[in-house]
Structure 1
Amino acid sequence: MSRPDAALTRRTIRRHQLREIVPLADTTIYDMEQRGEFPQRFYLTSRCVVWDLAEVEAWVEERRQASRAKAINRAPSPDVHQRKTRPVKH
């Protein structure tokens, strides 16, 4: 038996497998998909949603490279002077 060419075999992953690779909330992933910042899901059947594993892995690698190049802006630290109340000390 000969193995099929690697370029011809495409793996898909379901939501629970995606969560193991990309630890983001479902709504965050959905929003990123809508903005074109994350690989698009597609339906195998009316009830089965999947992502292309190669696209997800490429996205993760892209994010890794951007992080190393300091191209991803980090969220700002909260301004504690804008607090309306002070934390309670016990």
Structure 2
Amino acid sequence: MRDNAAAWLQTVDWLLGAALFILAAALAIAVGVAAYGLLRLARWTVGRIRHRFDVARMQTRPQLRPATGQAIDDYWTCRRVWAKPTREESKR
């Protein structure tokens, strides 16, 4: 009888230890998932705040002046000067 009770207690002790280990692992995973969710929420919130700030700043900027003839000429001059042929084009 004592042998049966001792074997049962050892089995229960082992099962309680395993259950405690599983519970601790599940708790650690739950804490990790919660921390990850909070970090994601914080990053999303900062992004939304930054976006709203950028939209407000863009709405307060003055409109750009239309390009003059000289500015357009300067643009095309830069395009022609910096347009270098590729190796294949230069070999032809």
Flag the structure with more relative contact order, 1 or 2, with Cα contacts below 8 A and sequence separation at least 6: 1
Normalising by the smaller structure, the TM-score range is under 0.3
Structure with greater Cα Rg: 2
TM-score by length of 2: 0.27
TM-score by length of 1: 0.27
Greater share of residues in strand: 1
